[in-house]
């Protein structure tokens, strides 16, 4: 996983990994979630990947737009 480089240093996200049709996100509490084109859908995945690369707004976006609509909790 790649370290999430939050610009404000106060993000709930610490790492992520992504591919063509998914993003995995690791939060500060060490939980990891897989989001993909099935859940929450392609538009959300693309936005989340952009935010992850930019290092800004990923945790907020997940909390506001995705919440529990993940494909799988990994741990």
Q: What is the pLDDT of residue 13?
A: 95
Q: Where do the structural domains in the chain lie, given as residue ranges? A: 2-73
Q: Is the dihedral of CA 55, 59, 65, 68 positive or negative?
A: positive
pLDDT tens-place string over residues 9-55: 788 999 999 999 999 999 999 999 999 999 999 999 999 999 999 99
Tell me if 31 sits within 8 A of 24, measured CB to CB.
Answer: no
Closest CA to 6 of 62, 51, 63: 51
Closest CA to 44 of 56, 52, 35, 34: 35
């Amino acid at each position: 996983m790649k370290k999430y480089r939050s610009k404000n240093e106060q993000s709930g996200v610490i790492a992520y990994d992504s591919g063509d049709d998914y993003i995995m996100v690791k939060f500060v509490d060490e939980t990891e979630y897989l989001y993909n084109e099935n859940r929450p859908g392609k538009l959300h995945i693309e936005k989340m990947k952009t935010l992850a690369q930019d290092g800004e707004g990923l945790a907020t976006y997940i909390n506001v737009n995705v919440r529990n609509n993940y494909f799988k909790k990994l741990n």
